[in-house]
Structure 1
Amino acid sequence: MSEKDNLHNADGNDIKKKEAITPEKSATNDQNASSDAITSTEKTDTPDAVEGNGNPLEQTTPETPKEEAVTETSSTESDAAESETSSPEEAPAKKKDAQEEIEASNAEDAEDDSNVERHSLEEKDYHAMSMDQLADEFESLLKNKKVQTIKSPVEEIRTEFNSKFSEVLEEKKDDFLSEGGHEIDFFYSSPVKKRFNAIYNDYRNKLNAYYKTLETNLKSNLETRLRIIEDIKGLLNVEENINTTYKHFKDLQEEWRTAGPIPRDKYNNAWNTYHHHVEIFYDFLHLNRDLRDMDFKHNLEQKLKIIERAEELAKDDNSNRAFRELQVLHKMWKEDLGPVGKEHREAIWERFSNATKTIHDKRQAYYADVDKAHEANLEKKEAIIAKIEEVAKDNVSSHQAWQNKIKVIEGLRTEFFNAGKVPIKVNEATWAKFKGAVRTFNKKKNTFYKNLKKEQYTNLQKKLELIKIAEDNKDSGDFETVTPLMKKIQSDWKHIGHVPRKDSDKIWKRFKAACNHYFDKINAERNAANQEQVDAFEKKMQLLDEIKELKLSGNAEQDLETIKQKTEAWNALGQVPQNKRFIEGKFNKTVDGLFNKLELDKSEVEMIKFENKLEHLSQPDDTRLLDNEHHFIRKKIDEVKGELNQLENNLQFFSNIDESNPLVKDVLKNIENHKENLAMWEEKFKKLKELY
C-alpha cells in the first residue's frame, strides 16, 4: 500500500486542503508523488503492500497521460513499496508459515462474517458422551448458535454418534442371529437414533437455506465492490471541482467498507484491484507532502499499537486465543492502515513479524503437547482393550458369573470412552480393535445364553407336562390315588429348573390354579364333614377378641410369656374350615402388633413371629401353604443376595476413598443391613425346611 492510500481514513475526519488541487496543478506538484505509486501486480507477502498482491480483477485503466506514467512504474516499484516488501521475504520460514496461515484464514473470513463466533465455540470431549448426550449437545448447538458456525463440532458429533450406534447395531444383530434369525430379516432402530436423524435433517435444511441466501448476498456484494472500483476509476475523467471529486471518492471508500462479505476466491483480487485504483486516484490528486506526512504519523501510531498488542499476545498462555486475535491484527495492518515513513518500515515490520513468530511457535508447541496427551490416551485405551480381551478369554458356566463379567465389560467400555482422544492416524484402527474385542466377548456371551435358552425350553416342556397332569386330575374324587400324585408333581416342579422368563409367571399360575382347585375341593369336603373345625372357628373368634383387648404390663419377659400362652391356646384349638382361614391372618396381625410393643431385639421378635406363623401353616395332608412360604422365602433370599452383590460391586468404585467419607459410610451401612436381613431370611428358611 503506498504512502498516499487511506489518507481519507487515517484519523476518520475529512481532509481540509488549503487550496483546490486541479489536474493542471498536479502536473507541477511534488515530483516524488508519482514515484511513490505502487501498481505492480507481482505477489508480495507484506501486509502493508497488499495493493501489489495478486492479479487485479480489472487492469484496464483510463487512457490519460497520468495513468500511462503510473503503469510504466509496474516493473520497478517505488522505494516505499520495496522497503515494505523486503522484510517478509528475508524472514525465516516459520514466519512465512504463520503469515500464510493468517492470510488464508482472513480470506476465508471474507466469505463469512461468523468467524469469531465459530472460533469461540467451546471445545468438548464428544468421544466420552453417550448417544443421548450427543443428541442433546447437537440440539443445543442448533438452537443457540448460528448454523454456519457449527459445522466442525457437528461433524465430530455425527462421527461419534454413528460409531456408537454402529456398535449397538452390531450387538443387536449378533443377538438376533444367535436366536436363530436370518440376516436379511434384521432391522433395528431406537428413539435416540430417530431423534438424532431428525435434528440432523433440521440442521441440513437450515444450512442449505443459509448457503442459498449467502450465495445471493456474496454475488450481490461482489457486484457492489466491482462497481465501486469502476466508480473510482471513473473519477479520473469527471470534470468537476477537485474537492467535490475528493468528497465523492471518500463516499465510495465508506461504501466499500460496508459492502459486506464476498467469495473467498475473489477476496485478494478484489482488494488488490481496489487498492491499485485508489493508488492511481491519490497519484492523480498529487496530494502535498504535509498531508502525506500526517498520514504516515497516524499510521505509525496505529501500527505501534498493533505491535504492542501482538507482543502482549505473545505472552498469553492461551495460544489459540492469541492466534485468533493475531489474525484480526494482521487484517487491520493489511486492510485498515497505510504505510509509514520509510525510516520506520523495516523496524516495525520486524517487530510485528517477531511477535507473530512467537505466537505461532507457542501454538505449534501447544499442539505438540496435545499430540503427547493423545499418545498417552492411546496407551490407556490399548491397556483397556487388553483387559477386555482377557475377560473374554475366561470361560464361565453360570448366569451369575456371566452377569458379573458383563458388568466388568460395561465398566471397561465406560473407561475407554472417558480415556480421551487418540492421534487421528490411529483413531480408526483403535476403534476397530476395541469393537473387535467387545464383539468377541459378546459372541461368547450370546453362545452361553443361546444354550441356556435351549435348556430353559426343555424345562418349559417338562413343566407343561406337569400342568397337563394337574389339570386332568383337578376334578378327580379319588383322593387316595390322586393326592399322592399331586404332591409328587409339585415336588417335581421344584426340581426342574428355570424356564424362559416370558413364560414363567404364566405357567406357574396355571399349575398353581390346578393344584389349588384340587386341594380346595378336598378341604371343602373335609370341612363339611368336620364339625370340630367349625367349633374351633367359633372359639378362635372369641379368643381373638380377648387378645385384641389385652393390655401389656410393660415387663418384656412377662409380656412375652403372656403372648406365648395366648398363641399356644390358639394353636390348641386346632384347624378351622378352609373358607374361615382368614381368621389366622387376623390373629397374626394382632399378635404382630403385640410383639412390636415389646422392647426386644428386632431379629428375635421376627423369628418368634415366624415360628408362630409356621405353626399355622402346618396342616396334615396339605403342604400348599408351606410350599408357598418356601417359594416366597427363596425368592426373598435371591433378591437380598442380588442387592448385596450390587452394593459390594458399587463399593469397588470407592477403593481410593477414605471410609470416613459420608457416601462410603452410607454404602457400608447399607451392606451391613442387607447382610443382617439375609441372615434372618436364611434362618427362616432353615426353620421351614425342618418341617418338611
Structure 2
Amino acid sequence: MLEEQHDNLQDADGNLITDSNESTSAASAEEQKAEEQQSTVVNENQKALNAIEESNAEESEDETLKERHEIPMLDYDTLSMEALVEELQKLVATDKVMSIKDHIDEIKKAFLAKYNHFIEEKKEEYHAENPDTTEDFQYHLPLKSTFDHFYTEYKNKKNAHFKSLESNLKSNLENRLAIVEELKELINPQENIKDTLKHFNELRERWKTAGPIPKDKYNHVWNNYHFHVENFYDYLHLDREARDLDFKHNLEQKQKIIERVAELVNEEDINKAFRELQDLHRIWKEDIGPVSRDIRDQIWNQFSDYTKQIHDKREVLFEKQRENEVKNLENKKAIIAEIENLGTIKVNSHSQWLVQIEKVEALRTAFFNAGKVPLDVNEETWAAFKTAVRNFNALKNSFYKEIKKDQNDNLAKKNALVAKAKELQESTDFAATTPIMKKIQEEWKQIGHVPRKYSDKVWKEFKAACNHYFDRLKEVRNEENSEEIEAFDKKKAYLDTIREFQLVGDHKTDLDAIKAHIETWKNFGKVPFQRRHIEGKFNKILDALFDKLSLSKKEGDLLRFSNRIDSLSENNDTRKIENEKIFIIRKIDEVQNEIFQLENNIQFFANTKNAKKENSIVLEVRKNIAIHKENLDIWKEKLAQLRNLNQKVDE
C-alpha cells in the first residue's frame, strides 16, 4: 500500500511554504465554483449509480427477482374479489416466488379491503333485520377460504425458498472472499509469469460461478474484487503485449456498452431501458475486466453520464405517476362526497331505493377503478370511503326495518313451491313432470328474499324435494344406459385381447385379422358418453398394427380414417363429423390450388427456349404434382366415405 508523503517546499528566497488557510483563501472564485459544479455533477451521477447498484445487489442475492419485470403489474384495486383470487392462483402456480412478491402484496391488500367492506355491509344488514338478536354475527364466504388457501401456499413456497437461499449465501460469500485473498497473493515477483496468469484466469472463472451472496455485502465484495483485479493489471510486471491486448479487448466491450446505453437514452419505454441498463451495469462490473489506467476514468464517466440521463428520465416518469396519484385522490374525494350526499337523501319506496343503491354501487366501482393515491393518505381515504358507505347503508336499512310485507309475501310464494315440489317428487311420469320441476326451480330463483329466520328451513325443504325427484330420474336413466355400460365393459376386456395380438407376417391374413377385430369392436355397441375415451385407446392400438403392415400410404390413411369415422358415427357425434367434412373440403381446395399453381409453373418452363430439355427443377415439379394428386385422391375418397355415411343416416 502506498503511503502519502508531505514534503515541505520553499520559495526562491528560502521561505517555508505552508498549507495554510491563507493559501486556501487565495484560490480564485472561479476555481471554487468549478469545483462545486463538478462535485454536484459527481453527486448527481452517484445517485443514479446507487439506484442501479441497489437493484443489482438485490437481484444478485436472489436471481428470481430478475424475472419479476416480465410479469406486468396490474391495477389490482380495480379487480373484483373473484378476479383477484384468479390472479393469485395463477401467480402462485409459478416457481418464481420472489418475483411475484410485490404482486402478491398488492393482491392481498386489494382483496382484504374489498372483503372487509363486504363483511361490514353483511353485518349491518344482519343487525338491521335482527335488531333484538343477542347472537354474534357470522358469515362464511367460500371465496375467502379459497384466497387463504392460495396465500398459504405462497407463504409456504416463500419460506422454503428463503431456507434454501440462506443456506447457500453464506458459503458463497466465504468462497468469494477466499478468491479475493488469493488475488492479493498473486503479486509475487518470484513466480513464473505464465503460472501467475494461469492462476489469475482460474480465479476469474471461479468468481463467475461462485453463486449469489447477501445483498448487503454485494457492493463491498465486488469493489474489493475489482480493486485487486485492477491492482494485478497495474502493478504486476505482466507481459506488456498480453496486457495491452486484454486492455484493448475490455475497452472494445465497454465502448459497445456505452454505445448501447446512448441508444437507451432515447428508448420510449423508460422502465424497459432501466432494466436493460441494470443488465449492462452487471455485465460491465461482473464480466468485463479493466482497461488501461489512463482512460479508465474517462470511459467510466461516459457510462455514468448516460446512466444519469436514463435515471433522470425515470425520475420524471415517477413524478408523473405521483401527479396521477394526486389526480386519483381528487377523483376519489369527489366520489366520497357524492356517496355522502346520497346518504342524506331519504326515499320512501323500494323502487327508489333500488335506484339509490345502484348509484352507490356505481360509485363504489368508480372508487375502486380510480387507481392508486399517494401512500401517506391511502388509509385516510379508505376510512372516509367506508364511513360514507356505512352511513348510506344505515339510512337504507332504517327504511327496510319498517317493511317486512314483501319478504312475507315471498315466503308464502316459496312455501307454495315447496308444497308443489313435494307433491311431484314421487311422480313416475318423468316426461311430463321434469319440465314442471325445472319451471318450479326457475320460479324459485325469481322470488326475492324471505325473513332470515325462515330462509334456511324453506330452502332445505325445497332442495330436498327437488333432489329426491331428480335422483329418481337419474336412476331410471342409468338403467336405460345399462346396455352402453355393458358395451363398455366388453370393450374394456377386449382391449387386453387385442394388445396380445401378433401379426403372422402374411399381409392379407394380417389385414383380414385386423378388420375382424374392428368388426368385433363395432358389434359391442355404443358406450356411455363420458367413457368414450376407450375408443381412443382402441384406435391407438390399431394405428400401431397398421404401421407394422406394409400398406400403401393411401390404404393406410383410408383404413384409419374409416375406423375413426365409424367410431364418431356410432357415438352419434354429428358435430365432429360435420367439422371433419368441412376440414376435408378445405383440404381438397388447398391441394387443387397447389396442383393448379404447379401446373402453371410447368407451362412456364415449357415456353422457355430450353423446353425440350427438362432440367432437374421441372422434374422436381412434376414429381411434386404427382404427390399432390395422390393426396387429392385420398382426400376425395375420405369425403366420399363421409357422404355415404350421411346418406345412410338419412335413410
For the structure 1 residues 507 and 120, does the alpha-carbon distance in structure 2 shift closer, same or farther, using more than 3 Å as the test? closer
Matches within 5 A, 1:295-374: 295-374=246-325
For the structure 1 residues 194 and 183, does the alpha-carbon distance in structure 2 shift closer, same or farther, using more than 3 Å as the test? farther
Matches within 5 A, 1:259-658: 259-279=210-230, 281-282=232-233, 285-453=236-404, 456=405, 499=408, 501-506=410-415
CA RMSD of superposed structures (Å)? 3.2
SS of structure 1 residue aligned to 2:402: helix
- Larger RCO: 1 or 2 (CA < 8 Å, sep 6+): 1
Matches within 5 A, 1:184-223: 185-223=136-174
For 2:241 and 2:407, the matched residues in 1 are separated by 102
SS of structure 2 residue aligned to 1:371: helix
CA contact (8 A) 2:48 2:308 kept: yes
For the structure 1 residues 184 and 88, does the alpha-carbon distance in structure 2 shift closer, same or farther, using more than 3 Å as the test? farther
Q: Which amino acid aligns with 2:350?
A: H
CA contact (8 A) 2:85 2:146 kept: yes
For 2:41 and 2:150, the matched residues in 1 are separated by 49
CA shift for structure 1 position 173? 1.2
Of 228, 245, 248, which aligns to 2:179? 228
Over residues 380-424 of structure 1, what are the superposed CA-to-partner deviations in whole Å (9 max), with x where a residue is unaligned? 222222222222222112122212221221122112222222222
The corresponding residue for 1:109 is 59
For 1:181 and 1:121, the matched residues in 2 are separated by 51
CA shift for structure 1 position 182? 5.3
For the structure 1 residues 509 and 106, does the alpha-carbon distance in structure 2 shift closer, same or farther, using more than 3 Å as the test? closer
The answer to whether structure 1 residue 91 and structure 2 residue 21 are counterparts is no
In structure 1, stretches of 5+ residues that fail to align are 1-70, 77-85, 457-496, 511-634, 640-692
- Normalised by the length of structure 1, the TM-score is 0.52
CA contact (8 A) 1:87 1:346 kept: no
For the structure 1 residues 203 and 505, does the alpha-carbon distance in structure 2 shift closer, same or farther, using more than 3 Å as the test? closer
For the structure 1 residues 295 and 452, does the alpha-carbon distance in structure 2 shift closer, same or farther, using more than 3 Å as the test? same
Q: Which amino acid aligns with 2:258?
A: I
> Number of matched residues?
394
CA shift for structure 1 position 73? 5.0
For the structure 1 residues 278 and 74, does the alpha-carbon distance in structure 2 shift closer, same or farther, using more than 3 Å as the test? farther
CA contact (8 A) 2:177 2:221 kept: yes
For 1:389 and 1:315, the matched residues in 2 are separated by 47
The answer to whether structure 1 residue 169 and structure 2 residue 119 are counterparts is yes
Q: Which amino acid aligns with 2:63?
A: D
For the structure 1 residues 287 and 267, does the alpha-carbon distance in structure 2 shift closer, same or farther, using more than 3 Å as the test? same
The answer to whether structure 1 residue 143 and structure 2 residue 93 are counterparts is yes
For 2:269 and 2:417, the matched residues in 1 are separated by 68
For the structure 1 residues 276 and 370, does the alpha-carbon distance in structure 2 shift closer, same or farther, using more than 3 Å as the test? closer
CA contact (8 A) 2:262 2:306 kept: yes
- Normalised by the length of structure 2, the TM-score is 0.56
For 1:145 and 1:361, the matched residues in 2 are separated by 34
For 1:506 and 1:91, the matched residues in 2 are separated by 82
Percent of aligned pairs sharing the same letter: 47
For 2:69 and 2:290, the matched residues in 1 are separated by 30
Q: Which amino acid aligns with 1:290?
A: E
CA shift for structure 1 position 89? 5.2
Over residues 136-161 of structure 1, what are the superposed CA-to-partner deviations in whole Å (9 max), with x where a residue is unaligned? 00111111350111111111110010
The corresponding residue for 2:586 is none
CA contact (8 A) 1:87 1:350 kept: no
The corresponding residue for 1:65 is none
CA shift for structure 1 position 163? 0.4
CA shift for structure 1 position 180? 2.5
Q: Which amino acid aligns with 2:286?
A: E
The answer to whether structure 1 residue 72 and structure 2 residue 2 are counterparts is yes
In structure 2, stretches of 5+ residues that fail to align are 7-35, 420-442, 448-651
SS of structure 2 residue aligned to 1:186: coil
For 1:245 and 1:238, the matched residues in 2 are separated by 10
For 1:88 and 1:194, the matched residues in 2 are separated by 60
CA shift for structure 1 position 335? 3.0
For the structure 1 residues 414 and 75, does the alpha-carbon distance in structure 2 shift closer, same or farther, using more than 3 Å as the test? farther
Q: Which amino acid aligns with 1:303?
A: K
For 2:325 and 2:339, the matched residues in 1 are separated by 21
For 1:245 and 1:236, the matched residues in 2 are separated by 8
The corresponding residue for 1:568 is none
For 1:425 and 1:188, the matched residues in 2 are separated by 32
CA shift for structure 1 position 446? 1.2
Of 42, 51, 76, which aligns to 1:126? 76
For the structure 1 residues 509 and 326, does the alpha-carbon distance in structure 2 shift closer, same or farther, using more than 3 Å as the test? closer
CA shift for structure 1 position 115? 3.0
Q: Which amino acid aligns with 2:138?
A: F
Of 191, 201, 204, which aligns to 1:250? 201
Over residues 477-509 of structure 1, what are the superposed CA-to-partner deviations in whole Å (9 max), with x where a residue is unaligned? xxxxxxxxxxxxxxxxxxxx8725334443799
For the structure 1 residues 369 and 349, does the alpha-carbon distance in structure 2 shift closer, same or farther, using more than 3 Å as the test? same
CA shift for structure 1 position 343? 4.8
Larger radius of gyration: 1
Q: Which amino acid aligns with 1:137?
A: E
Over residues 336-391 of structure 1, what are the superposed CA-to-partner deviations in whole Å (9 max), with x where a residue is unaligned? 33443455344433332321121111111111211222222222222222222222
The corresponding residue for 1:572 is none
Q: Which amino acid aligns with 1:72?
A: L
The corresponding residue for 1:153 is 103
CA contact (8 A) 1:232 1:277 kept: yes
Q: Which amino acid aligns with 1:127?
A: D
For the structure 1 residues 411 and 145, does the alpha-carbon distance in structure 2 shift closer, same or farther, using more than 3 Å as the test? farther
Q: Which amino acid aligns with 1:161?
A: F
For the structure 1 residues 75 and 329, does the alpha-carbon distance in structure 2 shift closer, same or farther, using more than 3 Å as the test? farther
The corresponding residue for 1:553 is none
For 2:4 and 2:154, the matched residues in 1 are separated by 50
CA shift for structure 1 position 325? 1.4
SS of structure 2 residue aligned to 1:286: coil
For 1:345 and 1:275, the matched residues in 2 are separated by 13
CA contact (8 A) 1:177 1:183 kept: no
CA contact (8 A) 1:174 1:443 kept: yes
Over residues 451-497 of structure 1, what are the superposed CA-to-partner deviations in whole Å (9 max), with x where a residue is unaligned? 213xx3xxxxxxxxxxxxxxxxxxxxxxxxxxxxxxxxxxxxxxxx8
CA shift for structure 1 position 425? 2.3
For 1:411 and 1:507, the matched residues in 2 are separated by 36
CA contact (8 A) 2:208 2:286 kept: no
For 1:183 and 1:371, the matched residues in 2 are separated by 48
CA contact (8 A) 1:389 1:441 kept: yes
Q: Which amino acid aligns with 2:411?
A: K
